[in-house]
Structure 1
């Protein structure tokens, strides 16, 4: 790989890591933000919802926009947007404004993720597989060590530091990207013939609007449900409206020429559909732990942000170590054995959480984190491989988009699950109930993985 390509890799890597880094650092800041803005746990959960909803929408939209306006322009614009949002977020006069800047930050970082892989594919032709795997390390590594970085920053400089830390990354990435990403030739015939109405149809603006309004309304309605059993009629109506709008979204997507989420694909390729369902459950389980455990450590056990970050580091390190080992194993045996072992480890980790009590040694949490970390490393490679094996080559682009949608829906549902269980206040009883639910989800994954292994063995015996 030439020196210019190496610098191009660094430029893209520093940009795309901002999305997973900011999605994971916030897990250690939830308790601090609750105190800062005097919120209950349900209210502060919107700092998570907003980021993932915006990412789920922005990434496919910006991917399409890059075909029209150029990948270099989208990448550089994303860095500028992320820089401004990270600079203004700590100055927010209210939690509402912090949510606004968090959404802007999500859009900016999603612009880079949407085109980063494409830039590497187009401009790095030698050792391309190694380059793409390096970008995956930027993405998975940033998410894995995010809680540790967040814990250290909050311990020494308080919660605004988790936003300010983005600024040097954004500046360095912008300067390198400006120098190393080649300028693209404009396509005037393409852009001039595309009216605003055609552009809105191309990105399925109507579908995006229905999806956003329906999902947010449903979340508002569901978040009113808590352990107290009291249900507000007004919130219930909002939730019903959300369901109706999501129903309209499904109907619209089935008729749209260029759907935001191609729902018909699920019916056409059932094997791929099951991979996405399994991936959805994996993310519900993983991120419920990812956001719930730091709050348990800080609110229930009164562990500092710094030590919470250190404990969470065991999850990230185990994940990073397990990923290359999983890659070699999956190359020899396929993804199913690795996914089966991953599901078993998630069961063990979930059961361990249920056995914890309020006087258990805090260090014992590392056992559950180790199980989930190894499981995450196996899943990161295994699920991606299973997706490619179950998807026709001509559908890889669409399949990858649906795969990311499953990831974001899983993270959103995990935050919703934690918020509903905890209600206004994070408690040990709620955390134990969360562990029981995660155990049920993990057992479901074991069953699904075992059935897939059995079906493959049956097919091989017939052959």
Structure 2
């Protein structure tokens, strides 16, 4: 095949193969797993960190919340910057910040510093996924062919795999050298991303058109999310001002985004794209259940069942295997609607299976619950990412992908709020059963909004012709 030059949307001219440039896959995948690995490893570290700093679950849960608040805000903001300026510089800046945050966390002298490190991790890990989706779309337009399903599958499977093996890996690291290693791991991962990014990611040409950033829109979006989640983390009458602030910020944000010429979130386009809105909603529901299980069940295994952190991590290994197997077997076929229906139904079954679990439950039952809830993790993540890729405006794929991750992290924030509510002092069996009912309701709603959505059946791969844009 004759090599040709890249050139979509101002991206750098460089020699690339006629087909999808598979040299991009390694930095794309490695960067995209930074957030899931930090999201999942912390699950088994919450109890040891709480013991180290004398903090109850209601305080250590901020290690989860801090990362997701930063990421929920950072993903669409950085995704928009990726669309405007190309993926390379945002990828390198973000992955570099991950290494700094890892060192900060490993050396943290207090819980407050540790939470600050998690905030930096949230912002640092926000760049790679929008960059990967932008690169995937750019390659499709450069080659005039639809990007291979294997590329999207690699992104989804890698993130899901790392997310589900994270507790096991975290448990092993804690057993080997304490909870500090959970943060230290970010340093070599960051270094690897920087090396691969510098070597393979295309440079971006300086655009002749002046780029504009909707900074007020970004600020209003941040205020909206932060005030909402601060209230959800501790809903009390004396915090009445937080939901009021959320509503005011949402109203002003909506008015501004509808009037500004180049909005941060184009509500006019988004409002007319009902299938994409439903995809975001499904993402929220699916990951609320997924993360509620990850954080709640793991803490219960340690406190309610009496397992060590490393043993609790190993107990979730069947979940990892089930998710990886399902993702690998189904990744080549898009089948978005089928995956969503089967995944949501199995999530309902898995949540129901938690109700008879207790402190005296046999090990085989604990492992079986993990397998049952691992299968939907392998299906729902793939389906949501594929649906987003097909439904979003190609020119805003970075910000659309960032917003998809925002809804995923809103689910994680909702899950951490629910975990704090059901486990106010310790992760006991009664709290686990209450959390299971909460998860069951969300999974049922996920199935209810998927069943009537016939637009999912019409999502098929469509080769894109080279745009001809400079």
What's the TM-score bracket when you normalise by the shorter of the two chains?
A: 0.7 to 0.9
Answering whether residue 48 of structure 2 is matched by residue 10 of structure 1, we say no
Residue 214 of structure 1: aligned partner:
224
Looking at secondary structure, tell me which structure has more helix per residue.
Answer: 1
Contact 2:174–2:181 (CA<8 Å) still a contact in 1?
yes
Answering whether residue 206 of structure 2 is matched by residue 186 of structure 1, we say yes
Displacement of 1:56:
2.1
Cα distance change of structure 1 residues 350 and 113 upon mapping to structure 2, 3 Å threshold: same
In 2, the alpha carbon distance for the partners of 1:420 and 1:39 equals: 16
- The one of the two structures with greater contact order (alpha-carbon pairs below 8 A, sep at least 6) is 2
In 1, the alpha carbon distance for the partners of 2:83 and 2:283 equals: 28
When normalised by structure 1's length, the TM-score is 0.84
Within 5 A, what are the aligned runs for 1:384-403?
384-387=385-388, 399-403=400-404
In 1, the alpha carbon distance for the partners of 2:391 and 2:21 equals: 33
Residue 33 of structure 1: aligned partner:
49
In 1, the alpha carbon distance for the partners of 2:127 and 2:455 equals: 41
Cα distance change of structure 1 residues 115 and 336 upon mapping to structure 2, 3 Å threshold: closer
Answering whether residue 102 of structure 2 is matched by residue 86 of structure 1, we say yes
Answering whether residue 157 of structure 2 is matched by residue 137 of structure 1, we say yes
Cα distance change of structure 1 residues 309 and 296 upon mapping to structure 2, 3 Å threshold: same
TM-superposition CA deviations, 1:266-315 (whole Å, max 9, x none): 53122332232222211111111111111110111111111111121221
Cα distance change of structure 1 residues 153 and 447 upon mapping to structure 2, 3 Å threshold: same
Residue 335 of structure 1: aligned partner:
336
Answering whether residue 320 of structure 2 is matched by residue 316 of structure 1, we say yes
Cα distance change of structure 1 residues 219 and 119 upon mapping to structure 2, 3 Å threshold: closer
Within 5 A, what are the aligned runs for 1:112-261?
112-119=128-135, 122=138, 128-129=147-148, 130-187=150-207, 189-190=208-209, 193=210, 198=212, 202=213, 204-225=214-235, 231=236, 233=238, 235-261=239-265
Gaps of 5+ in 2: 1-15, 459-470
In 1, the alpha carbon distance for the partners of 2:424 and 2:64 equals: 16
- Aligned pair partner of 1:291 in 295, 299, 318: 295
Displacement of 1:455:
11
Cα distance change of structure 1 residues 322 and 257 upon mapping to structure 2, 3 Å threshold: same
Residue 351 of structure 2: aligned partner:
350
Cα distance change of structure 1 residues 325 and 132 upon mapping to structure 2, 3 Å threshold: closer
Residue 279 of structure 2: aligned partner:
275
When normalised by structure 2's length, the TM-score is 0.83
Residue 441 of structure 1: aligned partner:
442
Residue 301 of structure 1 aligns to a residue whose secondary structure is coil
Moved more, 13-22 or 58-67: 58-67
Cα distance change of structure 1 residues 57 and 10 upon mapping to structure 2, 3 Å threshold: same
In 1, the alpha carbon distance for the partners of 2:77 and 2:394 equals: 22
Cα distance change of structure 1 residues 269 and 13 upon mapping to structure 2, 3 Å threshold: closer
Within 5 A, what are the aligned runs for 1:399-438?
399-438=400-439
Q: CA RMSD in A?
A: 3.1
Displacement of 1:179:
2.9
Within 5 A, what are the aligned runs for 1:295-310?
295-310=299-314
TM-superposition CA deviations, 1:167-194 (whole Å, max 9, x none): 122222322332333444434x44xx56
Moved more, 115-124 or 248-257: 115-124
Cα distance change of structure 1 residues 175 and 123 upon mapping to structure 2, 3 Å threshold: farther
Q: How many residues align?
A: 437
Contact 1:253–1:261 (CA<8 Å) still a contact in 2?
yes
Gaps of 5+ in 1: 226-230, 458-463
In 2, the alpha carbon distance for the partners of 1:7 and 1:401 equals: 23
In 1, the alpha carbon distance for the partners of 2:443 and 2:54 equals: 34
Residue 451 of structure 2 aligns to a residue whose secondary structure is helix
In 2, the alpha carbon distance for the partners of 1:441 and 1:70 equals: 37
Contact 1:62–1:74 (CA<8 Å) still a contact in 2?
yes
Cα distance change of structure 1 residues 60 and 321 upon mapping to structure 2, 3 Å threshold: same
